[in-house]
Structure 1
């Protein structure tokens, strides 16, 4: 509809159709990790120390800081204390709980149960005498946590199909692979296919390591990508699952996909000539930030919203026992 005047009065704002991907946003592991910090603060008061960002989202971290959480990168930044020390949802190398124990720190582990499953799997396969290939991204805390479950040199990181082609096995009959939980489903399938072709005896996890939430969020983006001119992913630049959603959107036929942290980051020039946009959020992004983006769109456009649901999630994880018992 052509504008009747230069001002965007409600009747003259350009129309914009928003396809809202579902599922999006928080997964059960993120939900649980945030709950662990909040329950620890409620039960033990502040400060509650958290090693590494509890989940990869600045808004979440800042809100927990405001409630009394103190974030550190390493345990040696924590003074002698009886207050809780929480490990992030991404999981930690074995050396971290050991260091906490040697200092008698009161540690609470917020590792996502699905990441913990990968740790157990890697340990089991290693105990069978197998060389472990970990499909994942170098430097990601989850990869560091999984690698750190086993002795140095027991795990080889495979980041790409090219890495899988180049890997030289000492004993092809004693190989196994596990994966980071937040990878691209399609990329990972490609890497696994190369490994299985080259090493037919390789053993994989009993059940796929990529978590249900990563898989579901990618499927939801695929369902909308071909119908819109722009996909907006709400998430953090260091969030692996959010970055994957941008890639999945572009590969599934969307001309342009962008990752933003908040509504203030919306790239308005990218809306030029676009009549439909897709909106989703990574597994560590709260729904508040999605609402903020929709509100910003309503300020400029006559917005109609259609939710596109590809799965219903009803998964929830229990919090650790220390936080379930009432305070003495």
Structure 2
């Protein structure tokens, strides 16, 4: 009797243990997904990461702007101190020349006195054939001696003054060296923050970057601010200058005419109007009359954040012109683009 055995079936593709693992994994994933809250309809998965990146970029730009204004302040003091050092060094050179002239004059007087006074005056008087002439010469020598004493006092005074000038010049040079070192540290701080912001920007997609560049905060005040006319002719000239700079690039530490940072732009605009205002945004806050935001007029300086680390110029219609940050040119923005801390009318 023949034996009947069931033939061994060859496993079909997808029915072996790898497939069973896949099925189990999918089931586990499904169970885990069931425990998580469902994503809102229409939500884009990259919205939150992009928002976090933009928030970090904005924070870095703000920190860089604070560091830039500190850099500008140190740079301004350094420039003034350089002039003081140059003037002090010129004073030392003039003082040294005066001391040299007095020394030469004293040397000439001393030589003449020595040549004329080698013999005792009484003996000379007895031996001379012309006593009257000798007495005239003796009176002259006496005047020379008196003049020599005066020059000696002048020389001593000039030497003391020269030493004081040298000490002051040395002190200013030491201050200048300290400021220059501080300038390098602050420059490095700004560069590090801007480099970090660039790295974060590179993580955004082209669409996200375009959305960021085109973003404008809403103007909470609209066009109902103050008067439409500038408060003075110089304010009108400053507004014309700042409008002419729209489109020029931002560059930290720059004050025109080819590129600007925020306070460099406003300082440059008022310079074109023949008015000098300080270099930093913090100092510009105190560079005129404080007015309420509701009374802002074209040409007024609008200071932002509690530390006044950003400044713009109000140009009317609820708009300011400012130099925002690296990569963004000088542009118009709503006056309420960020918290306003002060409005100053130079």
Asked whether the two chains share a fold, i.e. TM above 0.5, the reply is no
TM range (shorter): under 0.3
Larger fraction in strand: 1
Question: Which structure ranks higher in relative contact order (CA pairs < 8 Å, sequence separation ≥ 6)?
Answer: 1
**TM-score between the two structures when normalised by the length of structure 1:** 0.24
Larger fraction in helix: 2
**TM-score between the two structures when normalised by the length of structure 2:** 0.23
